[in-house]
Chains A and B, each alone.
Chain A
Amino acid sequence: MSIPLGVALGLLLGGVELVLRARLPLAPDLLAVAIGALLLQSQRRPVGGWILGVLLGFSTFSADPTAAVLLGGGIAALLLVPMRDLVFLESAWTQALFGLAAAVALRCARELYAWFDLVPRLPWSEASFTAPLLSALLLPILVRLGGELRRMARRIADRIDAWRARAGRQTS
């Protein structure tokens, strides 16, 4: 079930990035942000299916072969999965590093394909540098925001439970 949900998430992220790039001069690499965010999850959660789905969904917004996008995701995961045991995942610097590493891994995979003439070599543009940096900047912010939202949701759920218990006592 995680792969279809991942595909849907990838399509959503691709659409959002398409809109961002059409409206703004600079935009982050949202695929790198998603991979980084998924790899920052606890090891108890199975994220492989999610990442495969996100890569498949997002690849439909890329002119490069799907295999090149999968290779980029694979390189990022190969680097970052063992790193989860070595670094403090709650640190904002670590989170920024995960976002940057994922963006660079995706770029490396594309360059590898270009080296074998499987995709055209493209000139480096401003976006080639700004997108990974923006991804690195965005990932800690999103992780904090997600944590805060989760905490808020838990607090609301607790209040609802307390309200139900009080209402139950009053009716009895």
Chain B
Amino acid sequence: MADGLREQRPQRWPAVLVLIGVSGMVPVPVLEHAHGLIEAVAWSVRGLVDPVERTALAASEVAAPPDLALALDPRVVSLLETIRRRVLPPPARGWQREGHFGVVLVGAPPVENHRDEARELVVQTAAPVPSGEPAFFGEQLIGFTRVHADGSARIERITRPGGRTTACVGAPGEREARCLALGDGSTDLRVAYADGGVELREGDRAWAVDPPGRSGAAAIRVVGGALLGRLVRGELPTGAARDEWRIVPPVPVESLAEVAIRFPAGFAPPGETDIYPFTVTLAPDPLLDRRRSFCRIDRGREAGVLAGAAISNGGALIGRVERSGYGAALVRTLRDPGFRMRALLLQSGTAVAFDLVARGDRGGFVEIAPPPCPGWEGALVVTAASPDGTPEGLLFGALERHGDRCELLAAASAVGPAAAWRLPGAWGADR
């Protein structure tokens, strides 16, 4: 009788399965977390019961040399430092006050906010950015930070329409005229209300002056002395009775990929997040589809290795953890089609940030989508810092052009020992 009733009852479980499957496509954090948990549990169960994987890991462990270079490649670190030296303002200027400067990546606003392009730059970092802090490129003042309600940070350019900067123009110590440098949405600034009686010449220097503080308060050096640009004569209608002076910045803001921001005490600059490497053992691809490129490591959640953690070998990136269970984690390598990661292109003394998207292995090379900047041939590509567990400066490889294709000569090989990068957490650094 019970069997008969069960037969007549409508079967709802297929619809439940479809609902669970569809919920995996919905970008809601709660659902994403739930699906991640299901994958982690299933992956852990497989690690516990699968004798083939345990044998593969044990074989790799035997083959692993005892010592392993966990650190970043010193040549890449030195190259990044050389590039950053141009971006960071000189400490002797005193603009860092009690904080310190950190370099952040910047980009143009999204296409749908095209009208904001002349007003602001988007700060591309996941680290918290302080509001109202000056942004510099070397000694050049770019603007001030502003944090939106949604947490995204922008740099309001001093050249934006309505921007007013107290400034001084002339030759420092000889001819100095106080003025206001006004932004009008163009790439340069207009000089207004300049002191009379001081002769201005083309090529004169323009620098920022700190506005006067309250009487009795200590003078704080915020942007005083920061370079705004050089004076050029502006165009006026024929017969105009006065001169029009404009300040042209030495480096066009549109071309900048990185700027330096002052981080007050308590704010950690991006790239200085504490991420610790430790040794893991790589085993070969444990998946069914031969078109994909994955490998497996012998540490998982119990060691603090979570999804997103970078896996490297001697300073070169192998891949990123995709799934992490108990005692094992699945690593998606750089050679897997569709692999995507934030990267820095190092070329001729500058760093350009872009999303590296792999299209697949082409026999030694990895074909990637070309970076959105000219002159990428021969450039080095390294990782950009990520709060998920990727340090700055892990080497992807060098770019080469093969016909219309952009190919990456990958530096790392996905066999043997490796380093997993993990954030400090409940597991601590003692393990």
A residues near B, CB below 8 A?
7-8, 11, 14-15, 17-19, 21, 43-44, 46, 48, 51-52, 55-57, 59-63, 65-75, 77-78, 81, 109, 112-113, 116, 118-123, 125
Contacts and interface: CB of A to CB of B under 8 A. Distances in A.
A15 B38 contact: no
A75 B20 CA distance: 11
B336 A78 contact: no
A67 B38 CA distance: 9
A15 B294 CA distance: 16
Contacts of A109: 21
B7 to A, nearest CB: 5
A120 B38 contact: no
Interface in B102-116: none
Interface in B197-213: none
Nearest to A47: B13
B7 A43 contact: yes
Nearest to B292: A63
Contacts of A120: 336-338
Nearest to A4: B45
Interface of B: 3, 6-7, 11, 13-25, 35, 38-39, 42-43, 45-46, 49-50, 52, 286-292, 294, 322, 332, 336-338
A93 to B, nearest CB: 23
Contact of A71 (B7, B22, B322, B332): B22
| Chain B interface SS verdict (over half) | helix
B287 A74 contact: no
B17 A77 contact: yes
A48 B16 CA distance: 10
A21 B292 CA distance: 14
A157 B15 CA distance: 40
Contact of A78 (B18, B24, B50): B18
Contacts of B39: 59, 65-66
Contact of B21 (A17, A71, A81, A125): A71
Given A65-B24, A67-B23, A113-B24, 16 more contacts: A21-B288, A43-B7, A51-B17, A56-B42, A59-B39, A60-B42, A63-B292, A63-B294, A67-B24, A77-B14, A81-B14, A109-B21, A112-B25, A118-B24, A120-B336, A123-B291
B25 A73 contact: no
Contacts, number: 126
Contact of B11 (A48, A67, A73): A48
Given A7-B42, A46-B6, A66-B38, A21 B290 contact: yes
A44 B23 CA distance: 29
Contact of B49 (A11, A63, A66, A73): A11
Contacts of B46: 11, 14, 57, 60-61
Contacts of A62: 287-289
Given A21-B288, A44-B7, A109-B21, A74 B50 contact: no
A39 to B, nearest CB: 10
Contacts of B22: 71
Contact of B6 (A44, A59, A72): A44
A65 B24 CA distance: 8
Closest 10 pairs (CB-CB, A-B): A67-B24, A71-B21, A120-B338, A74-B17, A48-B13, A77-B14, A74-B18, A60-B46, A78-B14, A44-B3
Contacts of B7: 43-44
Contact of A67 (B25, B43, B292): B25
24 contacts: A8-B49, A44-B6, A44-B7, A51-B17, A56-B42, A57-B45, A59-B42, A61-B288, A62-B289, A63-B292, A63-B294, A63-B332, A66-B42, A67-B20, A67-B24, A70-B21, A71-B22, A74-B14, A74-B16, A77-B14, A78-B17, A118-B24, A120-B337, A120-B338
B24 A71 contact: yes
Nearest to A118: B25
A74 B288 contact: no
Nearest to B13: A48
Contact of B35 (A17, A51, A65, A121): A65
Contacts of A57: 42, 45-46
Q: Tell me which of A18, A109, A118 has the highest count of chain B C-beta atoms within 10 A of its own C-beta.
A: A18
B337 A122 contact: yes
A9 B290 CA distance: 23
A61 B43 CA distance: 9
Contacts of B288: 14, 17-18, 21, 61-62
A18 B288 CA distance: 6
Contacts of B42: 7, 56-57, 59-60, 66
Contacts of A73: 17, 21
Contacts of B18: 71, 74-75, 78
Contacts of B14: 48, 74, 77-78, 81
B20 A61 contact: no
Nearest to B322: A63
Contact of A56 (B16, B38, B286): B38
Nearest to B11: A81
A127 to B, nearest CB: 8
Contacts of A67: 20-21, 23-25, 35
